[in-house]
Structure 1
Amino acid sequence: MARIAFILLCHKDPEAIIAQAQRLTAVGDYMAIHFDARASDAHYRMIRDALRDNPNVVFAKRRIKCGWGSWSLVKATLNAVQAAVEAFPRATHFYMLSGDCMAIKSAEYAHAFLDADDADYIESFDFFESDWIKTGIKEERLAYRHIFNERTHKRLFYLSLDIQKRLGLKRDIPHDLQIQIGSQWWCLRRRTIERILDFTRKRRDVMRFFSTTWIPDETFFQTLVRHLIPESEIRCRTLTFLMFSDYGMPVTFYNDHYDLLLSQDFLFARKISPGATRLKERLGDLYAAEGVRFPISNEGRGLFQFLSGRGRIGRRFASRFWETESTLGRERELLILVCKKWHVAKRLLYRIRHVTNVPVIEYLFNEESTYLPDLGGIQSSLGKRTRHRRALMRMLFDYYETDRLIVCMDPGNLDLIQDFCGDRSTTRLLEIECQFSDDYLIGHARRVGLAGDRTPPETLARLLPTIRNDMTFESDRIRDQNFEHHHRIREVDPVAENAAKLSQFLAIPHDKAHEIAATEYLFAD
């Protein structure tokens, strides 16, 4: 059975560290602690005194003064790993933790999880080809030597970098290494750890290289594991659940996140708020629990993006001059079906085509798979379609040799709708208002990743009002624009009333509009 040696890097909150060590070792697991040498010596003595009689706890033999982004973090990790390897010969896995991490599964579950797959869990993506780095310097992390810390000596950090660039002091990467990057929160098997330690003793050139790279805790272990271990034995993921905001800051979890955390496909979570005392108590009791079932829904990241995005709705970039100055053509007419239930809009769309013979296109700005003719590559991706929307639409009018075209759009595409309604051509909107049952909203949440098949009913009950309000909000935003040709049909209205609206929207006789409005099962889910 798996036995875990936790590698804990910490620098504050000694009471929490003591409690964490006692919880994780109470079930037979181990812990090696590195307490930052910059932190309080009194706190360090408190931790050592409290855990002195715990045979499953060991301390790094040498404490390092740690600085974010510097080699010191890797060195501290290696010191703690070496202590754990020597002290715990029965440990099968080594798991990186911080003082802000807590278990979100029981030890029983964690051990079974690790026993089920003989593999290492570590994020490792190609440093140069991946887009893992979102901001800041990239190639310069490796190509130049970083002696100063960017956070504590910013001026010297960038002055040193600039001087090296001016003098052409760019260095080579060790020839046999393919640099990888990923999260520093990993779980590695014993034989992998032993190979890494052996490699560090033999390859002093590699150690010198990484010791002056910037943020090596995101590249050192990630690169060495790929270098030493077959790819088939590596799972390119972390077992610690963590999220980052749009500003690159870690998302903090609070008391009301308990159910969400337990439903994620991870063993630990980071970061738990120091003030979330109730959450800490519940998670603290969890690791030693037996027989607990964990229905995995894994909707955490999608749910966070959905909820945090509600307050930041708007256009991020201004329109390009070649978009704002172009036009579809004064004599042309673009008809847009706007509906959140895509299957309803598609059903109506093809009924309209059958009755009127007007060319129709499905959700071309929402679905990559929407059929479009070959227009020279402008149609090849959603990004291109959106950026060149007016040019794309002009080409579609030309392709179908028509002055009338009907397309579908999601209510969330307000920026696109505004753009087309502001064109010199005539743009008409038909908003299709549907009823949203709880079952439909639950299905929608699962389809877009806000919930999973095993999301607890209590979580869904709290989520449904937010989703329902979001649907209403999108519709209200469209109506607030007071577009000139805005028509609306509703699921709850009689066929005759919807037919009258369709007649106005399509500019067709009432009998043909009635034929369309009377489509059987038009609003069915």
Structure 2
Amino acid sequence: MARIAFILLAHKEPEAVIRQARRLTATGDYVAIHFDARSKARDFARIKAELGDNPSVVFARRRHKCGWGEWSLVAATLDAVRAASDAFPLATHFYLLSGDCMPIKSAQEAREFLDADDCDYIESFDFHSSGWIKTGIKEERLSRYHLFNERKNKWLFYANLRLQRKLGITRKPPADIRMMIGSQWWCLRRHSIEKMLEFCDTRPDAMRFFRFTWIPDETFFQTVIPHVVPRTEIRTRTPTFLMFTDYGMPVTFYNDHYDLLVSQDYLFARKISPEARDLLARLAALWQAEGQWFARSNEGPALFQFLTAQGRVGRRFAPRFWAADGGLGRNAVLHVIVSKKWHLAKRLTGAIRERTDIPAVDYLFNEDQANLPDLGGTETTLAKRQNHRRALLSLLYEQFEAQRLVICLDPSALSLLGDFTADRANTRVLLIDTVFDDDYLRGHISRVGLAGQHTSTEMVERLLPTVRADLQQEVDRLRDMDAANLFEISHTRDLAANADALAQFLDIAPEIAHDLASTPRLFDD
């Protein structure tokens, strides 16, 4: 049975490091700790005092001052690996973790996962052809000498780079080595670790090369392991679940991400927010649980995008919808119909166009066909509408020769409603309240890409509670806005109540509102 020596790299939160080490060793595994020498001496002293008598914990022989993109990160890892290899001869696997990683499987399931396949788990893609690097310098990571830290000494870093370009100074990796790249996080077998350490001891030329490589933690292990281990014994993937935002920053997980995390086909996840106390407690308990298995999926990035596309509470990723220096004018009236079920809102806008003289369009910021008039090309693509959004609405008022306009909006874009209601225009909101039954949710999961063609039925069923809760939260947040001009219609209300809400929302005669409320199949799925 697999026994894991965890290589724990940490630089802060000594209490979290202590808890992590105790949790991992409580199930019969081992921990080797490297605590950054840049961190406070009293924090490291506290860790040693709490864990020094634990026979399953060892510390790297040397503490390095680590800097992002520097060789020091690799050196710290290697020192911790050597300490673990010497101290724990029964360890079969060596798993690299950071201080903000947490298990998303039980120790029992992790061991079964590692026992099932005699292999190493490490991302290892061709450096030159894979396209793994998305931004920044690429070839010059290898071909130049990197002497300064880009984040701490940015001017010196780029001055050094410019000087080498001017003088034509270049270098090449050792001829027998194929340069690879991938994620920093891996899990390697003891045999592979021993081969790697032997390489470090016998190849000073390669060690010198990597010492002056930019961001070597993404290339050193990823290159050396395929050099000393047959490719057939390597699975080109990381066992740690991590994602990055559009800005290239690691995604941080919070309390509401538990279901997302435990269903992923990984053993650990990073980064877990230190403020997500409920999530931390649940994952800590999970590691020591027995008899718990979860259906596995790779829908994590799609589900995360679904959960956060509208931004977290108190924080928004997207730019403001309205420009701060513009608006529609005090005399304009904007009627916004909000419904997750687009077909219901479209039935209502169709009835409004037929029975009133109020111009009404559909989901103009969400779908291509939204019953828009010809606006000279501005309306032809969603990208154009977003780029010229303020002009688009103004053009619609002008084109319709009206001061009133009905549009539809998906409730996921509630941040836009705040901008609408803050505008000088008179903004009124109508919520079409609906029930999200399981059949609708299954279709929604498929439509938004949370589940693919090969996603198991069991996995889809596991997503249902998360998606239902998120859709309900959108509605609750709309009601919490406490807009003075917020109205609701629903299939659970009688015809008179729905007609009254429509009369106030559209400022129309009661008999016309009654006709609209009587629209055939208005609430039918």
Alignment map for 1:98-113 (pairs within 5 Å): 98-113=98-113
Measure, in 2, the Cα distance between the counterparts of 1:258 and 1:497.
39
Check the 8 A contact 2:180/2:223 in 1, yes or no. Answer: yes
1:291 positional shift: 1.7
Q: Deviations over 1:44-68 (max 9, x none)?
A: 865785134x5xx5554x4242312
Q: Deviations over 1:389-447 (max 9, x none)?
A: 477789999xxx99899864325277599789999xxx998854222457589949984
Check the 8 A contact 1:123/1:181 in 2, yes or no. Answer: yes
Check the 8 A contact 1:100/1:270 in 2, yes or no. Answer: yes
Q: Deviations over 1:111-167 (max 9, x none)?
A: 22334566654567879946766xxx655766653323456xx3x552242243145
Q: Structure 2 residue aligned with 1:158, among 149, 152, 155?
A: 155
Q: Tell me the equivalent position of 1:470.
A: 477
1:96 positional shift: 0.7
Check the 8 A contact 1:14/1:46 in 2, yes or no. Answer: no
Q: Aligned to 2:94, what secondary structure does the other structure show?
A: strand
1:318 positional shift: 8.2
1:76 positional shift: 1.9
Measure, in 1, the Cα distance between the counterparts of 2:259 and 2:313.
19
- Structure-2 change in CA distance of 1:208 and 1:390 (3 Å): same
Q: Deviations over 1:203-250 (max 9, x none)?
A: 655543432234432443345568877599545455256888989587
Check the 8 A contact 1:103/1:267 in 2, yes or no. Answer: yes
Measure, in 2, the Cα distance between the counterparts of 1:358 and 1:177.
67
TM-score under structure 2 normalisation? Answer: 0.64
**Paired letter, 1:454:** R
Alignment map for 1:265-414 (pairs within 5 Å): 265=264, 266-270=266-270, 286-294=286-294, 301=304, 305=308, 309-312=312-315, 316=319, 337-349=337-349, 362-367=362-367, 382-389=382-389, 408-411=408-411, 412=413
Q: Tell me the equivalent position of 2:432.
A: 434
Measure, in 2, the Cα distance between the counterparts of 1:376 and 1:112.
62
Q: Deviations over 1:316-342 (max 9, x none)?
A: 368789x979x9xxxxx9987543432
Q: Aligned to 2:462, what secondary structure does the other structure show?
A: coil
1:519 positional shift: 3.2
Count residues with an aligned counterpart. Answer: 493
1:202 positional shift: 6.9
Q: Deviations over 1:159-206 (max 9, x none)?
A: 242243145256466497566354x33334556556655665676555
Alignment map for 1:70-149 (pairs within 5 Å): 70-85=70-85, 91-116=91-116, 120-122=120-122, 129=131, 138-139=137-138, 144-149=144-149
Check the 8 A contact 1:67/1:149 in 2, yes or no. Answer: no
Q: Aligned to 1:522, what secondary structure does the other structure show?
A: coil
Check the 8 A contact 2:242/2:250 in 1, yes or no. Answer: no
- Structure-2 change in CA distance of 1:416 and 1:433 (3 Å): closer
Q: Name structure 1 gaps, 5 residues minimum.
A: 328-332, 481-486
1:108 positional shift: 0.8
Measure, in 2, the Cα distance between the counterparts of 1:324 and 1:100.
43
Check the 8 A contact 1:37/1:66 in 2, yes or no. Answer: yes
Q: Aligned to 2:65, what secondary structure does the other structure show?
A: coil
Measure, in 2, the Cα distance between the counterparts of 1:493 and 1:365.
29
Check the 8 A contact 1:146/1:157 in 2, yes or no. Answer: no
- Structure-2 change in CA distance of 1:468 and 1:144 (3 Å): same
Measure, in 2, the Cα distance between the counterparts of 1:429 and 1:276.
37
Measure, in 1, the Cα distance between the counterparts of 2:95 and 2:504.
66
**Paired letter, 1:168:** R
Measure, in 2, the Cα distance between the counterparts of 1:370 and 1:232.
53
Q: Deviations over 1:296-354 (max 9, x none)?
A: 79698458737963324597368789x979x9xxxxx9987543432311343556678
Q: Aligned to 2:155, what secondary structure does the other structure show?
A: helix
1:110 positional shift: 1.2
Aligned-residue sequence identity (percent) comes to 42
**Paired letter, 2:109:** Y
- Structure-2 change in CA distance of 1:385 and 1:224 (3 Å): farther
TM-score under structure 1 normalisation? Answer: 0.64
Alignment map for 1:159-198 (pairs within 5 Å): 159-166=156-163, 168=165, 171=170, 174=173, 180-182=181-183, 184-189=184-189, 193=193, 196-197=196-197
Q: Tell me the equivalent position of 1:520.
A: 520
Q: Tell me the equivalent position of 1:68.
A: 67
Deviates further, 164-173 or 348-357: 348-357
Q: Tell me the equivalent position of 1:330.
A: none
- Structure-2 change in CA distance of 1:318 and 1:193 (3 Å): same
Measure, in 2, the Cα distance between the counterparts of 1:505 and 1:44.
62
Measure, in 2, the Cα distance between the counterparts of 1:339 and 1:513.
19
1:71 positional shift: 0.9
Check the 8 A contact 1:123/1:238 in 2, yes or no. Answer: no
**Paired letter, 1:433:** L
Measure, in 2, the Cα distance between the counterparts of 1:354 and 1:519.
11
Measure, in 2, the Cα distance between the counterparts of 1:89 and 1:374.
74
Deviates further, 87-96 or 497-506: 497-506
Measure, in 2, the Cα distance between the counterparts of 1:115 and 1:408.
54
**Paired letter, 1:472:** R
Q: Tell me the equivalent position of 2:453.
A: none
Measure, in 2, the Cα distance between the counterparts of 1:98 and 1:215.
17
Q: Structure 1 residue aligned with 2:462, among 424, 449, 454?
A: 454
Measure, in 2, the Cα distance between the counterparts of 1:165 and 1:337.
56
- Structure-2 change in CA distance of 1:248 and 1:414 (3 Å): closer
1:453 positional shift: 3.7
Measure, in 2, the Cα distance between the counterparts of 1:305 and 1:344.
25
Measure, in 2, the Cα distance between the counterparts of 1:172 and 1:371.
61
- Structure-2 change in CA distance of 1:318 and 1:410 (3 Å): closer
Q: Structure 2 residue aligned with 1:50, among 48, 53, 67?
A: 53
Measure, in 2, the Cα distance between the counterparts of 1:48 and 1:509.
76
Q: Aligned to 1:96, what secondary structure does the other structure show?
A: strand
Q: Aligned to 1:311, what secondary structure does the other structure show?
A: coil
Measure, in 2, the Cα distance between the counterparts of 1:166 and 1:496.
79
**Paired letter, 1:239:** T
Check the 8 A contact 2:226/2:234 in 1, yes or no. Answer: no
Measure, in 1, the Cα distance between the counterparts of 2:271 and 2:186.
15
